A and B are shown apart, each in its own frame.
Chain A
Amino acid sequence: MRRPRLIVASLYIASIFLGVASAWLWLTRVGIAGVDAGAWRVNLLAGSQNADAYTRARVALGAVLALDRSETLYYTTQHDDRGKALRAECRYKIEGSPPTARWWSITAYGADNFLFPNAERRYSVGTESAQLDATGRFSLMIGPLPASEVGNRTWIPTAGTGGMRLTLRLYNPAPAVQQAPGSLAAPSITLAGECP
């Protein structure tokens, strides 16, 4: 009599566990849907009242308090142009033309979605700090800061090892980009030198 009850109780406990675990894995391991532009992906429903339950949950975990696309487009990536996962211990060169928006910035985050600690207190490069060359293009570096680059405003220092996420924010993007976010000429991301 006791054994069947134990089996049934175990069955229900297992189903509850699997229900929670499957939701968590689905939300954290399956990439967020969206439109691609180069190595970057933008989710068009972040912050939107039209977001589905999965998008809403993923945004809550990784980008809570995002603005609706009418105000801001958030392009994110966790890999470079060759599809290799970004690593905090590696150096990357980001190059491109300034996106057509009222203001833009590229920020580096650790695998925990928080800023990398650094003595320079520099976490992003964008409209305010990007330096354009003669052709109007910008380039910046992201990775462990070598002593020779201390003070370089176009180098975003990382710390430690592990995964990394980049976010390209476009505040008040130009109408053409807002209507077709995949048409953005997104900045390139290439590994610079060897990755330890």
Chain B
Amino acid sequence: MKRLHIHVVIAVVLGIAVHALTVWALPRLIMDRIITLGGGDAQAQSGSRASSGVYLPPPTDHTQRRIVMPSPDLLYATCAFDLREGPLRIRMASGYPRYWSIALYASSTDNFFVVNDRKTAGQDIDLTLVGPRQADTASPGEVISPTERGFLLLRLLVNDDPEVRAAAEATRRTLRCDRGRA
């Protein structure tokens, strides 16, 4: 009987631990799937693979059922990154005359960096992203990711005007994610 009490206590502790582990792991599992699909499984998607590890999803509509709550007002481009093999150089021309932003996400889902058209004041994007293990040797101005793996999401505000969509398309095609430093 006394032994059973011990097992009950262990079972309660186990249940609490499993609860906490589930809450902790869920966002990381979801993000891991996004990073994997966003970076290395273009065959399963209807968008197109651009150069330098960039994926160009089709314009957002109801057939997009990969990432929850997509915004129909935005045209996206994505780039999954893994910094274990070294820094990542992110480049993009910034001539698009409407709202755009580049956001970086850690594998925990945290949005640790964002830059938009107004912050760059018309300058082209040329960023270096380094992993947490290279944080000590990072140069000033380089962005430090809290996790080795992560995800880049480019957003461009569009509307129904074909000229606007063409300009957004041209801009997202200039996005590059290459190994190396700026």
Task: Indicate with 1 or 0, residue by residue over A86-123, a CB within 8 angstroms of chain B CB atoms.
Answer: 00000000000000001101010100111111100101
A selection of 19 A-B contacts at a CB cut-off of 8 Å is A11-B11, A12-B14, A19-B22, A23-B26, A24-B22, A53-B23, A60-B31, A64-B109, A65-B67, A67-B114, A68-B114, A105-B71, A113-B69, A114-B70, A115-B60, A123-B61, A167-B69, A171-B157, A172-B99
Interface size on B (CB < 8 Å)?
54
Q: Is B93 an interface residue (CB 8 A)?
A: no
B101 touches A169 (CB 8 A): no
Q: Is B111 an interface residue (CB 8 A)?
A: yes
Q: Is A18 an interface residue (CB 8 A)?
A: yes
Which residues of chain B have C-beta atoms less than 8 A from A81's C-beta?
A: none
Which residues of chain B have C-beta atoms less than 8 A from A53's C-beta?
A: 20, 23-24
Q: Which residue of A lies closest to B26 (CB)?
A: A57
Which residues of chain B have C-beta atoms less than 8 A from A15's C-beta?
A: 11-12, 14-15, 18
If over half of A's interface residues share one DSSP class (helix, strand or loop), that class is named, otherwise mixed; here it is mixed
The docked-state distance in angstroms from the alpha carbon of A14 to that of B10 is 12
Q: Is B44 an interface residue (CB 8 A)?
A: no
Q: Is B68 an interface residue (CB 8 A)?
A: yes
Give residues of chain B (70-123) contacting chain A, Cβ–Cβ below 8 Å. Answer: 70-73, 99, 101, 103, 105-106, 108-112, 114, 116, 118
Q: Is B146 an interface residue (CB 8 A)?
A: yes
Which residues of chain A have C-beta atoms less than 8 A from B69's C-beta?
A: 62-63, 107, 109, 113-114, 167
The docked-state distance in angstroms from the alpha carbon of A97 to that of B102 is 29
Interface size for chain A: under 10, 10 to 19, 20 to 34, or 35 or more residues?
A: 35 or more
A116 touches B68 (CB 8 A): no
In the assembled complex, the CB of B144 is this many whole angstroms from the nearest CB of chain A, namely 12
Which residues of chain A have C-beta atoms less than 8 A from B71's C-beta?
A: 105, 107, 124, 169
The docked-state distance in angstroms from the alpha carbon of A129 to that of B11 is 56
B111 touches A64 (CB 8 A): no
In the A-B complex, list the 10 residue pairs whose CB atoms are closest, starting with the nearest.
A19-B18, A60-B27, A47-B111, A23-B22, A15-B15, A123-B72, A113-B68, A15-B11, A115-B62, A117-B62
Q: Is A183 an interface residue (CB 8 A)?
A: no
Q: Given A16-B14, A20-B19, A23-B19, A51 and B110 touching (CB < 8 A)?
A: yes
Q: Is B65 an interface residue (CB 8 A)?
A: yes
The docked-state distance in angstroms from the alpha carbon of A140 to that of B110 is 33
Give residues of chain B (152-167) contacting chain A, Cβ–Cβ below 8 Å. Answer: 153, 157, 159
Q: Given A126-B73, A128-B159, A114 and B65 touching (CB < 8 A)?
A: yes
Q: Given A118-B62, A124-B72, A71 and B23 touching (CB < 8 A)?
A: no
A11 touches B7 (CB 8 A): yes
Which residues of chain A have C-beta atoms less than 8 A from B118's C-beta?
A: 172
Q: Is B64 an interface residue (CB 8 A)?
A: yes
Which residues of chain B have C-beta atoms less than 8 A from A102's C-beta?
A: 99
B14 touches A64 (CB 8 A): no
A61 touches B30 (CB 8 A): yes
